């Protein structure tokens, strides 16, 4: 529980904040409880959508040192809660409506329905950007010639073979963007394509920056450590942003109050951070060998759902359930492999002793 101590304290603080917000807006006990319940529901939604995000975060964090892990948990949580859950929707509405920051904030407080309508109008661009970025994350993992451990062996073995084709991930994503855009009206099609290509370019830039600044095995100078940690930090924040798109947009189905949404999703983001630390410090990914596979399959599923969402609305509960199911199946497979391996080691040891 020590890993979740900070998250629990933060949750209690947010519940008090939600209760104050609910009472000030409704002046009733029922209204106060309703606001608190919505915040907790949003927190559960965020956790269910971002569990695979925690696994991928842990994969990156375990290689960047304690200092940058701590910065991810301090600076990163401020960016995640204040930046992505509060400021990001305001920026989207400001760009879409050509309004200044003060006007957008006033719109969110005084005309939440209109604010939500403008934010939803940018749904196509958000799904295009987030979907292409996450698809690159997933495909990059499976199209890896050095990948030797496979969970869905028949499929993953074939995917590894594609690693010999240079830039095959980019070709696949461009093809999917082109296909998906054909199911949209002409005005929306161009927006979807341009935002999808932007997501693709951002991944290429960040991934290239990470490779450029990667610390060579023979050196570990302070400046190189800072550069490597910084590039990984930027990558993690963009990854977190891509994961949060679906949750931020879906949250407006439960509430149109910007501050209620920020509180609820902030609680979820804090728990995801705590889960990430647990996975890193307990080295859980090494103990359960297929867990990261389940996370990356969940990322691919989320990316495809984002592409489908531009045409057919898929409930967030379905999206979160698919990701959670894939990770649970991967965890069960890991436990079974551990048991089989322990039995084989016992038998092998017994034979050696007899000899």
What pLDDT score was predicted for residue 351?
63
Per-residue tokens: 176: 């999917």
What pLDDT score was predicted for residue 253?
67
The mean-pLDDT minimum among 252-256, 266-270, 339-343 falls in: 252-256
What pLDDT score was predicted for residue 219?
42
Q: Is residue 243 within 8 Å of 302, Cβ to Cβ?
A: yes
Residue with the larger pLDDT of the pair 49 and 160: 160
* C-alpha to C-alpha distance for 158 and 147, rounded to whole angstroms: 12
Residue 347 placed within a domain = no
Rounded to the nearest integer, the mean pLDDT of the chain is 81
- Cβ neighbours of 343 (radius 10 Å): 10
Highest mean pLDDT among 46-60, 63-77, 245-259, 298-312: 298-312
What pLDDT score was predicted for residue 214?
55
Per-residue tokens: 333: 């497979």
Mean pLDDT over 127-132 rounds to: 88
Residue 351 placed within a domain = no
* C-alpha to C-alpha distance for 42 and 265, rounded to whole angstroms: 6
**Burial of 294: CB neighbours in 10 Å, binned 0-12, 13-18, 19+:** buried
* C-alpha to C-alpha distance for 278 and 286, rounded to whole angstroms: 13
What's the pLDDT tens digit per position in 266-276?
A: 888 888 888 88
Residue 302 placed within a domain = yes
Residue 324 placed within a domain = yes
What pLDDT score was predicted for residue 297?
92
- Cβ neighbours of 113 (radius 10 Å): 8
- Tally of domains in the chain: 1
What pLDDT score was predicted for residue 268?
85
Residue 355 placed within a domain = no
Closest CA to 237 of 80, 43, 38: 80
Mean pLDDT over 66-90 rounds to: 75
What pLDDT score was predicted for residue 332?
92
Residue 289 placed within a domain = yes
Residue with the larger pLDDT of the pair 210 and 302: 302
pLDDT reading at 177 higher than 70: yes
Residue with the larger pLDDT of the pair 6 and 139: 139
Residue 350 placed within a domain = no
Tell me the percentage of the chain whose pLDDT exceeds 70. Answer: 89
What pLDDT score was predicted for residue 246?
66
Phi and psi torsions of 304, nearest 5°: -65, -40
* C-alpha to C-alpha distance for 240 and 263, rounded to whole angstroms: 17
Range of the domain at 329: 2-342
* C-alpha to C-alpha distance for 137 and 140, rounded to whole angstroms: 5
Residue with the larger pLDDT of the pair 74 and 175: 175
What's the pLDDT tens digit per position in 195-233?
A: 999 989 988 887 776 666 554 444 444 444 445 667 777
């Amino acid at each position: 529980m020590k890993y979740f101590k900070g998250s629990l304290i933060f949750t209690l603080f947010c519940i008090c904040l939600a209760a104050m917000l609910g009472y000030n807006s409704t002046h009733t006990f029922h209204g106060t409880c309703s606001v608190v319940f919505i915040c907790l529901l949003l927190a559960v939604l965020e956790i269910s959508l971002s569990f695979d995000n925690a696994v991928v975060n842990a994969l990156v964090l375990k290689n960047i040192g304690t200092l940058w892990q701590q910065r991810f948990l301090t600076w990163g949580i401020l960016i995640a809660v204040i930046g992505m859950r509060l400021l990001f929707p305001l920026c989207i509405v400001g760009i879409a409506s050509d309004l200044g920051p003060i006007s957008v904030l006033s719109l969110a407080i005084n005309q939440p329905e209109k604010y939500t309508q403008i934010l939803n109008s940018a749904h196509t661009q958000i799904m295009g950007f987030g979907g292409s970025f996450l698809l690159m994350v997933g495909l990059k993992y499976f199209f890896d010639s050095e990948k030797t451990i496979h969970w869905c062996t028949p499929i993953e073995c074939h995917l590894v073979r594609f690693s010999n084709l240079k830039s095959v991930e980019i070709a696949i994503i461009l093809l999917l963007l082109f296909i998906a855009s054909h199911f949209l009206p002409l005005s929306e099609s161009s927006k979807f394509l341009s935002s999808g290509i932007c997501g693709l370019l951002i991944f290429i830039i960040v991934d290239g920056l990470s490779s450029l600044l990667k610390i060579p095995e023979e050196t570990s100078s302070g400046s190189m450590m800072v550069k490597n940690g910084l590039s990984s930090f930027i990558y993690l924040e963009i990854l977190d942003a891509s994961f949060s798109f679906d949750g931020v947009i879906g949250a407006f189905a439960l509430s149109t109050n910007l501050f209620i949404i920020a509180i609820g999703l902030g609680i979820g983001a804090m728990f995801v951070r705590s889960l990430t630390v647990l996975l890193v410090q307990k080295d859980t990914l090494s103990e359960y060998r297929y867990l990261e596979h389940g996370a990356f399959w969940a990322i691919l599923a989320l990316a495809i759902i984002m592409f489908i969402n531009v045409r057919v609305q898929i409930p967030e509960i379905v999206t979160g359930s698919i990701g959670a199911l894939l990770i649970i199946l991967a965890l069960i497979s890991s436990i079974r492999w551990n048991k089989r391996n322990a039995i084989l080691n016992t038998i092998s040891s017994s034979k050696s002793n007899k000899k």
